[in-house]
Amino acid sequence: MGSQWGRDGFYRKARTEGYRSRAAYKLLDIQKRFEVIRADDNVIDLGCAPGSWLQVLRELTDGQVIGIDLNPVPSVEGAVTLVGDFTTEVMHDKIRSMVDVVNVIVCDAAPKFSGTKSYDQARAIGLSEEACDFAITFLKPGGNFVLKSFQGDMFDVILDKMRKNFHGVKVYRSKAARKGSTEVYIIGKKFMGPQSSDDTDAGEKNLKVKVLGKKVEKDEDAESGSRIIRRIVDSHEK
Q: Which residues are catalytic?
A: 148
Q: Where are the alpha helices (DSSP H) in the chain?
A: 3-6, 9-17, 24-34, 52-60, 89-98, 117-138, 155-165, 197-206, 225-237
Query: How far is it, in rounded angstroms, from Cα 8 to Cα 96?
Result: 40
Sheet containing strand 183-191, edge to edge, reads 80-83, 65-69, 43-46, 102-107, 139-150, 183-191, 166-172
Other residues' Cβ atoms within 10 Å of the Cβ of residue 82? 17
Round to whole Å and give the CA distance between 76 and 42.
Answer: 16
Q: Which among 139, 144, 141, 173 has a CA at the least distance from the CA of 38?
A: 144
